[in-house]
Structure 1
Amino acid sequence: MSQEAWLGIDLGTQSVRALVVGADGGVLGSGTAPLAGRRDGIRHEQDPGEWWAAVCAASRAALREGPRIGGLAVCGTSGTVLLTDPDGHPATPALMYDDGRAWAEAERLRSAGLAVQHTWGLPKALWLARKHRPGTVTHQPDLVTTRLVGRPVPTDSSHALKTGYDVRGEAWPDAPTLPGALVLPDVVRPGTLLGEVCAAAAEATGVPAGTPVIAGMTDGCAAQIASGALREGSWNSVLGTTLVLKGAACVPVHDPTGVVYNHRAPDGSWLPGGASSVGAGVLTAAFSGADPATMDRQAAAHEPAGAITYPLVSPGERFPFLAPDATALVLGEPAGDADLWAALLQGVAFAERLCLDYLHHLGAPLDGTLTFTGGGARSPYWNQLRADVLGRPARVPEQTEPALGMAALAAHGVTGEALADVAERMVRVRTVVAPRPARTAVFAEPYARLVDELAARGWLPSPVAAHARSRLNLDTAES
């Protein structure tokens, strides 16, 4: 094929996905390879050697039709780290994004003045150095880009953020907070040329030797690129197992609690966002084997539901408030399965509204487009419900995979064209869901009750609760 295309590679939790995308967003090839992991309570590890094998399989499948590749970029799960030797070979297992064993290390870093969470990369790197042996801190995509180029390469500032990298000052934290033998990698901005695919990697992956390898971003940022939400005030709401909101701003959104953090875009602008523990995972847990479409049809008769929920997938909340002791709550008694299903759908939508109200409380710009992505966006009923609760329209693209975002970033890195322009050309909007004002009004009272309950339990700060109540009659885009 003579058309130049771009390869995006997404290192997920359960699989590696490779996507070949044309300049207009058309998918020219795709491939997937599974990944295995080890979960045991708060432990979550993967064998980093499996990542490369899966990348090779997925890339070969994606390139079967032989498109000419102009460049590639790789994303991974945020906060997933391992330690490597000086040649870039794994020296430890990989601790995944939600591995929770580094509590003590995180406490020590916080006492030294670093705002980190215990699942972030830096405390986990310290844990690995203590339990195994010191080495170079390496993020999930770094291992792959090192193999692609044939030598160790810098990490990108997006993955380095949760390893304590100061994206504003573009520097690592002071050395006294780290043991002497722990090595921090060089860092470049996303979109930077890391090198070219070497001959050995070309043989293994099917990607032609000499193909430019571009520094990527985290999977959440990759999904944001794939949504096209890169203009100031635009937001992407990713509803999967949990809920993630990411937006675009000219200046960082300051949050003294650290609930909202800011990635640095390739052009130096900012991508603020946060990750909640609320999400569609509660549906799987509560209704294993149920048909979602059937349950959606039945839930439509329960607006609002007879119960109000804050449907945490796991204990503890990170966004829109920080409450490690928070647990899932149900106010009232659901009148059967359909009512409970409706209450869970509505509870996620209420949490989503509270996230946007909290962002407004912090002064974040919210007047751009809103895009729904993630597995939850496959439900037309849930999309309509969320638009009604939020009181604003939402776009639903055809293709929202993080791998698409990496293809767009690769095109930006090679051509120099503005990333927002590249993404908008590649993103194909399937539909726009308009809110129904009458339904928005119906959900105001149960939303207010939930806000009051969260505040009464001491999880939601009183000023945030008051701000949310003051906006009950406004849509979430209004100032």
Structure 2
Amino acid sequence: MADEHGGGDMAWLGIDLGTQSVRALLVGGDGEVLGSGTVPLAGRRDAVRHEQDPGAWWEAVRGASRAALAGRPPVPIGGLAVCGTSGTVLLTDGFGRPLTPALMYDDGRASAHTARLRSAGLRVQDSWGLPKALWLLDAYGPGRIAHQPDVITARLVGRPVPADSSHALKTAYDLERDAWPESVPGLPGDVLPDVVPPGTRLGEVCRAAAEATGIPAGTPVVAGMTDGCAAQIAAGALRPGAWNSVLGTTLVLKGASSAPVRDAGGVVYNHRSPDGTWLPGGASSVGAGALTAAFAGADPAAMDARAAAFEPSGAVAYPLVSRGERFPFLAPDACAFVLGEPASDADRWAALLQGVGLTERLCHDYLHHLGASTAGPLTFTGGGARSAYWNQLRADILGRPARVPQQTEPALGMAALAAYGTGTAPTLADAAERMVHIRTLIEPRPGRTALFAEPYARLVGELEQRGWLPEAVAAHARGRLDRDTAGS
């Protein structure tokens, strides 16, 4: 039984179905990690193809869960939740058993289906689940559409379960109407799953799953959210106006709002928090992957130290990781570029670091252009946040303070969602804030933001000239050159 302090005598299990591994965290009500386990995953990549075997997910969950629970303190497990990669879909039979490989979030074979859906008025992108589900139906025949966590939660409770609305969003679930589209060209009417809000109790761990995973039978299983939302929960960025900037291979910006952020351009989408608030966000194709591609095998810390001498860099970089941009504008043919010639490898490294920061600022300016509140606290997470130098540089370019949490894994976010879903906190934000601890506070250095105004203006102008960035957005960004991006 939870105590008056919100489940302090219980532990919560979060499971993250990632691209490269499955991660399980056992977390106390105060955020202390009591146990963890990780099992790697493999997939098939071939040009635009990216598949995984859904059976491998279950085997990895078994191993990760057993590792996380090994030697755990004698406290009951209050519940668990599972997150997965957004836009990953497969087909199952009527019992929830996989019939096809899973098409991963970045599988690119459904572009023709995307075009047809967009021509029919649906705002979808190639990476979304709906066009990939149509591709699977064409390629493999009848089946029911499922998302990555649906397979695992079905195995845990021993029967098919509804999908959560967070994963269903990119399969075209309408969160405002709380319903699937009335019709989708080429989609049979009986293939879509039932949908429930994140945090909904789906059932309890069945005896067979308990024997396989080591999770006690009867443990509540609650509906999860996407890995991006899970990371946002783990960052504690859930109060309206707060934003979480996740810098990994690419850059994802997710915030909290009392109302949906409307975007006619279709690059900002809105998840819905289980307590009724909205979680707008967008995913850019710039990120740390550009550093890996340009400097394979380099020592990031050593390169950061050398790059500090080039502020600003002699060049302006737009460091796309792959062709095409999704946020803060939609340009399928966009490509990386560098304006000017870096003086050295250190200057080129500096240009890439700064290019990510400049694009990040444009993302904030675009959100401001849409009317979103950007004045709340900003949190840095993701692999890029391990670089203290890059964190400081990004704060300087943005002209606003930032926080770096101590623990930012999506699995922690799922532990917090499990705590909320089983009734130990009045809101998801309350549950997260009990578990999230801030490690570092970063303040922009005086005068540094002004140093990057001219490179930022050059980047904005080039993106506009190439026809990728809309004129109105470019004008809005230029109008904010002399102010920090935290302004309203």
TM-score, structure 1 length as denominator? 0.99
Measured in 2, the distance between the counterparts of 1:392 and 1:66 equals: 41
Measured in 2, the distance between the counterparts of 1:280 and 1:453 equals: 21
Counterpart code for 1:249? S
Q: Does 1:201 align with 2:175?
A: no
Q: What is the aligned counterpart of 1:173 among 174, 181, 186?
A: 181
Q: Does 1:439 align with 2:448?
A: yes
Task: Judge conservation of contact 1:19–1:403 (CA < 8 Å) in 2.
Answer: yes
Shift of 1:437: 2.6
Identity of aligned residues (%): 75
Other structure's SS at 2:252 match: strand
Q: 1:18-52 deviations in whole A, cap 9, x for unaligned?
A: 00111111100000000000111111000010000
Other structure's SS at 2:368 match: helix
Q: Does 1:474 align with 2:486?
A: no
Measured in 2, the distance between the counterparts of 1:126 and 1:416 equals: 40
Other structure's SS at 2:447 match: helix
Shift of 1:367: 1.0
Measured in 1, the distance between the counterparts of 2:126 and 2:459 equals: 28
| Residues 107-146 of structure 1 mapped to structure 2, 5 A cutoff | 107-146=115-154
Q: 1:316-371 deviations in whole A, cap 9, x for unaligned?
A: 00000101110001000011110000000000000000000000000001111000
Q: Does 1:5 align with 2:11?
A: yes
Partner of 2:363 in structure 1?
A: 355
Shift of 1:110: 1.5
Q: What is the aligned counterpart of 1:183 among 178, 182, 191?
A: 191
Partner of 1:409 in structure 2?
A: 417
Q: What is the aligned counterpart of 1:31 among 33, 37, 53?
A: 37
Partner of 1:46 in structure 2?
A: 52
Q: What is the aligned counterpart of 1:367 among 366, 375, 378?
A: 375
Shift of 1:3: 3.7
Measured in 2, the distance between the counterparts of 1:363 and 1:176 equals: 31
Other structure's SS at 1:272 match: strand
Partner of 1:334 in structure 2?
A: 342
Measured in 2, the distance between the counterparts of 1:323 and 1:212 equals: 43
Measured in 1, the distance between the counterparts of 2:143 and 2:182 equals: 18
5+ long unaligned stretches in structure 2: 1-7
Counterpart code for 1:88? G
**Structure 1 moving runs of 4+ over 6 Å:** none
Q: What is the aligned counterpart of 1:21 among 20, 27, 34?
A: 27
Shift of 1:182: 5.4
Task: Judge conservation of contact 1:55–1:205 (CA < 8 Å) in 2.
Answer: yes
Other structure's SS at 1:437 match: coil
Measured in 1, the distance between the counterparts of 2:184 and 2:195 equals: 19
Shift of 1:108: 1.6
Shift of 1:65: 1.8
Partner of 1:389 in structure 2?
A: 397
How many residues align? The count is: 478
Partner of 2:5 in structure 1?
A: none
Q: 1:285-326 deviations in whole A, cap 9, x for unaligned?
A: 111111000000000000000110010000000000101110
Task: Judge conservation of contact 1:134–1:182 (CA < 8 Å) in 2.
Answer: no
Task: Judge conservation of contact 2:34–2:72 (CA < 8 Å) in 1.
Answer: no
Q: What is the aligned counterpart of 1:157 among 162, 165, 175?
A: 165
Cα RMSD, aligned residues only: 1.0
Measured in 2, the distance between the counterparts of 1:11 and 1:144 equals: 9
Measured in 2, the distance between the counterparts of 1:274 and 1:437 equals: 29
TM-score, structure 2 length as denominator? 0.97
